[in-house]
Amino acid sequence: MELTKHNHATVVLDKDGTTLVIDPGTFTPEAADLVRQATAVLITHEHADHFDVDAVRAGLAANDSLVVRGPAPVVEQLGDHDGRVVAVRAGDSFEVGPFSVQVFGEQHAVIHRDIPTIANVGYLVDGALFHPGDAYLVPGVPVRTLLVPTSGPWAQTAAAIDYVREVAPERAIQIHELLLSDAGQQMNVRMLGTDGLGGVPTTILPAGETVTV
């Protein structure tokens, strides 16, 4: 499959004419266009930087074949649209065209003890690519490409290093980086990378660029 990185947590996967959009959030200016052109949209959780509710609603209205998967609070905001919007939770699996998707995890990482945690799931696509949303979710199965969140009020470099070590993917790609300067992104890649503490080849993929995964 082909992975195209967009701002922050948004990625697009293409395979055999089928397009999955994961976490089209408000930090991605082109989110509405991506959703309209998608076969399916996968949402990890309801925070706006991962879920632009207006963009997804518009996409559902414009494309009557679009399907959406996400935790129950996402479905509550969208409605079921005649079964096209379906809640998922850990242990679920489903197919979208040639893609197979497994769902892991239940909770967003703790931001602060005074802020309640919310539902958060991660998606393993084709047994190869894992998007954890806003949590250091360990799927407990082999992962070729891990998308690693590197900034945010809940993110920690030490925890990210341990996360990469525990998942032990073949490679990692940085996501959720919008709050970091270029220097901060480079530092995280050095820490997570082959010559750093993570020990895994780690890539900064600029928004708009595509790689095969």
pLDDT of residue 32: 97
pLDDT of residue 135: 98
- SS3 string of 56-115? HHHHHHHCCCCEEEECHHHHHHHCCCCCCEEECCCCCEEEECCEEEEEECCECCCCCCCC
pLDDT of residue 139: 97
Tell me the C-alpha distance between 173 and 26, whole Å.
Answer: 21
pLDDT band at 188 (very low <50, low <70, confident <90, very high): very high
pLDDT of residue 207: 96
Task: Report the predicted TM-score, pTM, of the whole model to 2 decimal places.
Answer: 0.97
pLDDT of residue 78: 97
Q: Please tell me the class of the 2-212 domain.
A: alpha beta
- Residue reference for tokens 């790689």: 211
Domain ranges (residues) in the chain = 2-212
- Residue reference for tokens 């003890």: 113
Tell me the C-alpha distance between 88 and 83, whole Å.
Answer: 13
pLDDT band at 91 (very low <50, low <70, confident <90, very high): very high
The widest CA-to-CA distance across the chain, in whole angstroms, is: 51
pLDDT of residue 203: 96
pLDDT of residue 112: 96
Q: What is the pLDDT of residues 149-173, one digit of tens each?
A: 999 999 999 999 999 999 999 999 9
Backbone region of residue 19 per phi and psi (left: phi > 0; alpha: psi in -120 to 50; beta: other values): beta
